[in-house]
């Protein structure tokens, strides 16, 4: 198809007020971009055996992604490579026009959730080094998330402690779909280490735990995966609460990333009501489930809830707390939220500032 | 309303589009099977450069299991969220009541008429022998 594209990327607005973007996905321009951070033994392993997640013998994700690399079609960097792989283009298309003061990097396609635990750990460590080298050291607005080989909690905790005090990192990153629900004991060393070094743990949608997306099997469509992320996140959150993770790690802060937040009140109500009857099963819980959720959980906005009536949105946010929402675009992915369009009118200046910037700066400890 | 001369017809063959700024407005002109259409290059949903998306057809189904693919090359799909609009009318297929892409009338005029005016040439020097794509704005 003969398409004449505009030479310059288009940003529809130029924001005066600074914002935080709490879900940016950096990508590798080439496979060997990681090699400087990876021992030779793993170059050979990667080329010989590839990367094996817990799902079947297949390349790529189990569902189609609507657009190439699930990304905006205007986000291919002019110098080549996949969307999200060029810092200069990210600056031009996202950071500068939208006045992003803090951008939190959440790399996907890392070494998380691989079957070979040693390889998983090596790849995650390489991704963490690569985030500093290619991104955070080159643009001070960007901060990285520590990715860890999460199925090996002890190795994951070691990687977290290795990064303690490094100002390049503001978060530990997990995914929502794992081998077991996220509250289970195999993951506890990760929470212990995160609490110890004082970073929140983000739980981003996706991951390959080898289980179907739904509890009753593999659905047919990508649209089912899009909404299924909320179900997976609910499973993760219920598990975290009910296993007593927040009782055990009372200073732990967690961020639910890219799975919506509109479902939070109803999950909490159901948990509370059931807890009244079944608290003898989980006597390690000292408070109602909803209290753990409201005290320990932050929520990124993309995909921002968009009910027909804006008062329904505001009621949901009031339950969650205006101090718990973190604005995110999900750049460069195709379901990108445009900052000036996501929040309806009728929000106080203080809440608006908290939503777009203040909450994120406070949570991530950015002055 | 001002009539703007966009390009000689032979510079915009069927299946192609041309992007330009007219009076500060981003516009795209499409040639769909020999007919010309103009759209504001801004998605009414969240403001992406709508016209830089792929040209697709329209998948419709009267019953589950029966899918018809029509209007091939006449639907523009937003590069961000995949919202689909009919290039001929600007109609949205995602939320037709609330959202419509801004459409502009586009015509083909002979060079003799263009030279006579009252046209503004945006991108080209006009010669009398050619036909020109013209948009009303």
Contact (Cβ atoms closer than 8 angstroms) between residue A331 and residue A302: no
Rounded to a whole number of angstroms, the distance from the CA of B65 to the nearest CA of chain A is 13
What is the per-residue pLDDT for A355? 98
Measured between beta carbons, the chain B residues lying within 8 angstroms of A74 are: 48-49, 52, 79-80
What is the per-residue pLDDT for A246? 98
Q: Verify whether the Cβ–Cβ distance A12 to B47 is below 8 Å.
A: yes
What is the per-residue pLDDT for A29? 97
pLDDT digits (tens, 9 = 90+) for A337-359: 999 999 999 999 999 999 999 99
Cα distance between residue B24 and residue B4, in whole Å:
13
What is the per-residue pLDDT for A14? 62
Chain B residue with CA closest to A74: the answer is: B79
- Indicate the helix (H) or strand (E) that contains A122: helix A117-130
Taking one residue from A and the other from B, the number of pairs with CB-CB distance under 8 angstroms is 63
Domain interval for residue B78: 3-136
Q: How many CB atoms lie within 10 A of CB A282?
A: 14
From chain A residues 45-84, the ones with a CB under 8 A of any chain B CB are: 66-67, 72-74
* Residues counted in chain A: 367
What is the per-residue pLDDT for A7? 46
pLDDT lower than 50: segments of chain A: 1-7, 9-11
From chain A residues 309-338, the ones with a CB under 8 A of any chain B CB are: 334-338
Cα distance between residue A75 and residue B122, in whole Å:
28
Pairing outcome for strands A297-300 and A254-257: parallel
Rounded to a whole number of angstroms, the distance from the CA of B122 to the nearest CA of chain A is 16
pLDDT digits (tens, 9 = 90+) for B17-51: 999 999 899 999 999 999 999 999 999 999 999 99
Which CATH number characterizes residue B71's domain? 2.102.10.10
Number of domains present in the structure of chain B: 1
What is the per-residue pLDDT for A4? 45
Rounded to a whole number of angstroms, the distance from the CA of B125 to the nearest CA of chain A is 20
Contact (Cβ atoms closer than 8 angstroms) between residue A332 and residue A26: no
Taking the CA atoms of residue B86, residue B91, residue B92 and residue B93 in that order, the dihedral angle to the nearest 10 degrees is: -70
Q: Verify whether the Cβ–Cβ distance B15 to A2 is below 8 Å.
A: yes
**pTM of the complete model:** 0.90
Measured between beta carbons, the chain B residues lying within 8 angstroms of A336 are: 46, 48, 80-81
Mean pLDDT of B129-134: 92
Q: Which of A168, A163, A167, A138 is nearest to A148 (CA)?
A: A163
Q: Please indicate if any CB of chain B lies within 8 Å of the CB of A5.
A: yes
What is the per-residue pLDDT for B125? 84
Where does A19-364 sit in CATH, by number?
A: 3.20.20.140
Three state DSSP letters for chain A: CCCCCCCCCCCCCCCCCCEEEEEECCCCCCHHHHHHHCCHHHHHHHHHHCCCECCCCCCCCCCCCCCHHHECCCCCCCCCCCCCCCHHHHHHHHHCCCCEEEEEECCCCCCCCECCHHHHHHHHHHHHHHHHHHHHCCCCCEEEEEECCCCCHHHHHHHHHHCCCCCCEEEEEEECCCCCCCCCHHHHHHHHHHHHHCCCEEEECCCCCCCCCECCECCCCHHHHHHHHHHHHHHHHHHHHHCCHHHHCCCCCEEEECCCCCCHHHHHHHHHHHHHHHCCCCCCCCCCHHHHHHHHEEEECCCCCCCCCHHHHHHHHHHHCCCCEECCCCCCECCCCCHHHCCCCCCCHHHHHHHHHHHHHHHHCCC
B32 beta partners: B35
Q: Verify whether the Cβ–Cβ distance A2 to B49 is below 8 Å.
A: no
Across the beta sheet with B55-63, what order do the strands follow? B55-63, B66-77, B84-86
What is the per-residue pLDDT for A64? 85
Domain ranges of chain A: 19-364
Confidence of residue B128 (pLDDT cuts 50, 70, 90): confident
Q: Verify whether the Cβ–Cβ distance A334 to B48 is below 8 Å.
A: no
């Amino acid at each position: 198809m003969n398409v004449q594209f505009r030479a310059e990327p288009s940003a529809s607005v130029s924001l005066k007020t600074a914002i935080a973007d709490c879900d940016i996905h950096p990508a590798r321009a080439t496979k060997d971009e990681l090699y400087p951070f990876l021992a030779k033994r793993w170059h050979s392993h990667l080329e010989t055996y590839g990367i094996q997640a817990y799902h079947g013998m297949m390349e790529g994700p189990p569902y189609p992604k609507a657009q190439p690399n699930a990304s905006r079609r205007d986000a291919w960097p002019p110098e080549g490579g996949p969307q999200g792989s060029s810092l200069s283009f990210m600056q031009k298309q996202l950071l500068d026009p939208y006045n992003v003061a803090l951008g939190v990097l959440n790399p996907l396609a890392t070494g998380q959730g691989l079957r070979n635990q040693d390889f998983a750990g090596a790849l995650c460590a390489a991704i963490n080094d690569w985030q500093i080298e290619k991104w955070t050291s080159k643009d001070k607005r960007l901060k990285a998330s520590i990715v860890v080989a999460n199925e090996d909690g002890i190795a994951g905790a070691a990687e977290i402690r290795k990064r303690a005090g490094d100002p390049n990192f503001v978060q530990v990153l997990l995914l929502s779909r794992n081998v077991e629900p996220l509250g289970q004991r195999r993951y506890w060393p990760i929470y212990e280490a995160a609490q110890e070094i004082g970073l929140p743990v983000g739980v981003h949608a996706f991951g390959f735990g080898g289980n179907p997306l739904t509890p009753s099997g593999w659905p047919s469509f990508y649209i089912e995966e899009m909404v299924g992320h909320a179900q997976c996140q609910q499973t993760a959150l219920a598990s975290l609460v009910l296993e007593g993770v927040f009782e055990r790690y009372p200073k732990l802060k967690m961020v639910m990333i890219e799975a919506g937040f509109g479902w939070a009140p109803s999950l909490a109500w159901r948990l509370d009501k059931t807890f009244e009857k079944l608290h003898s099963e989980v006597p390690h819980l000292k408070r109602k489930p909803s209290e753990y959720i409201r005290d320990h959980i932050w929520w990124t906005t993309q995909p921002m809830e968009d009910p027909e009536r804006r008062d329904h949105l505001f009621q949901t946010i009031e339950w969650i707390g205006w101090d718990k929402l973190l604005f995110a675009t999900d750049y460069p992915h195709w379901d990108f939220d445009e900052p000036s369009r996501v929040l309806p009118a009728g929000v106080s200046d203080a809440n608006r500032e908290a939503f777009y910037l203040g909450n994120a700066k406070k949570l991530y400890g950015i002055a | 309303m001002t009539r703007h001369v966009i390009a000689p017809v032979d510079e915009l063959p069927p299946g192609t589009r041309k992007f330009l700024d007219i009076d500060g407005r981003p516009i795209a002109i499409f040639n769909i099977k020999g007919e010309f259409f103009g759209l504001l290059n801004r998605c009414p949903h969240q403001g992406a450069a709508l016209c830089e998306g792929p040209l697709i057809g329209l998948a419709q189904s009267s019953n589950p299991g029966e899918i018809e693919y029509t209007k091939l090359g006449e639907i523009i799909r937003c590069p961000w969220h995949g919202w689909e609009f009919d290039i001929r009318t600007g109609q949205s297929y995602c939320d037709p009541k609330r959202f419509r892409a801004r459409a502009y009338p586009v015509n083909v005029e002979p060079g003799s008429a263009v030279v006579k005016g009252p046209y503004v040439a945006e991108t080209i020097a006009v010669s009398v022998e050619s036909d020109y794509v013209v948009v009303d704005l």
